[in-house]
Structure 1
Amino acid sequence: MGNKLKTETGRAPRESEAIMTEMILPQHANAIGTVFGGVVMSWVDIAAAICAERHCHRQVVTASVDALSFLAPIKLGWIVSLKSSINYVWKTSCEVGVKVTAENPRTGESFHTATAYVTMVALDSNGRPTLMPPILPETEDQKRRYEEAKARRMARLELKKQNEERQRQRAAAGEQE
């Protein structure tokens, strides 16, 4: 009963925000002394999962990651912060925005190094998608991200539709993936 009430009333983004902090160590760096992109991708996924689980109080899985772009290098010894926040909730999924910044601890300079939008799906105890509580944006920035997330969702659904059509065409033509 408690979960149903929470689902109906919703939650503010601040209730589930997560901030992760990591340091780039030798095992995270490539031959030129910058972080492997896959390490950052892993951290983005973890930050998004923490945020989504805080929001819905359930296990979540990653459905997609939109256009993770690396804007600046992150060097060995630097400090990385990943801030994640729910942008929008649909029925059983949500979009989590993750902003990655890097700090050179010797100079104090900070750099915006990456942004990603991660779609997470809530799971019930049987591993099936289940309802998520709605998001209740409070600030102007949260309201802007809420509206932008709706547009990104439409683009994701259109891309999915195009990919499914291409697969049908290939199957009809007898092509293999």
Structure 2
Amino acid sequence: MFKTTEESRIQISQLMLPSHANFGGKIHGGYILNLMDQVAFACASKHSGSYCVTASVDKVDFRNPIEVGELVTMKASVNYVGTSSMVVGIRVDSENIQTGKTKHCNSSYFTMVALSEKGEGVKVPGLELKSKIDAKRFLKAVSRRDNDKNRQKELKAIYKNLDEHLIKLKHYRVRVDF
């Protein structure tokens, strides 16, 4: 069984209230991450037809602050599927509802896993790619996955052979005292 990205796409909009603001008067990043997690859950559950949990969140860059009174819109789609996992891409935009000016606030990728009632991974439908953008998103997810595997190997090498890597520290503002 295969599903298109359109079949599981989710879009939500929410007005940002003063209760969502941090001490600097901007919308708290943690609140935005919470909303993103909810949208990722809904999108992955819609695609898989199962309860889903968050396995990981790829890098989150807060590109532009979100102001109290702005309308935040989150768009989510399944970009990649494995056996029981899915990568959900989320784009966050905000809009000043008085001026109509919009800004891209962040994008991120949530890896979600579909689970059975017993808490075991369940097979998810494949992804039917209907456009070049769907194919690009899938291939970018594969590339990020491959890069993560390579990064883990590099990090393990540092722990195994620390002395070989210490020379790199001379380029940083640290003092090695051991």
TM-score bin (small chain):
0.7 to 0.9
Q: Once the 2 structures are TM-superposed, how far is the Cα of residue 31 of structure 1 from its aligned partner? A: 2.5
Which whole-Å CA distance do the structure 2 matches of 1:110 and 1:71 have between them? 13
2:109 aligned with 1:104, yes or no? no
Task: Name the SS for the 1:68 alignment partner.
Answer: coil
- Residues 163 and 123 from structure 1, CA distance in 2 versus in 1: closer, same or farther, beyond 3 angstroms? farther
1:66 — aligned with what? 58
**2:77, 2:19 → 1: CA distance?**
28
- Unpaired stretches in structure 1, ≥5 consecutive residues: 1-8, 171-177
- TM-score, normalised to structure 1, is 0.85
Match of 2:126 among 134, 139, 155: 134
**Number of residues of Structure 1 aligned to a counterpart in Structure 2:** 162
Q: Paired residue for 1:94?
A: 86
Partner of 1:29: 21
What do residues 111-138 of structure 1 show as CA deviations (whole Å, max 9, x unaligned)? 1100001100010110011111111111
Partner of 1:38: 30
- Percent identity over paired residues: 33
Alignment match, 2:112 = 120
3-state SS of 1:70 partner: coil
TM-score normalised to structure 2 length: 0.85
Residues 1:145 and 2:151 are matched in the alignment: no
Check 1:167–1:63 CA distance in 2 against 1; reply closer, same or farther (3 A cut).
Answer: farther
Is there any run of 5+ residues in structure 2 with no aligned partner, and where? 163-178
Q: Distance in 2 between matches of 1:98 and 1:167?
A: 34
Larger of the two Rg values belongs to structure:
2
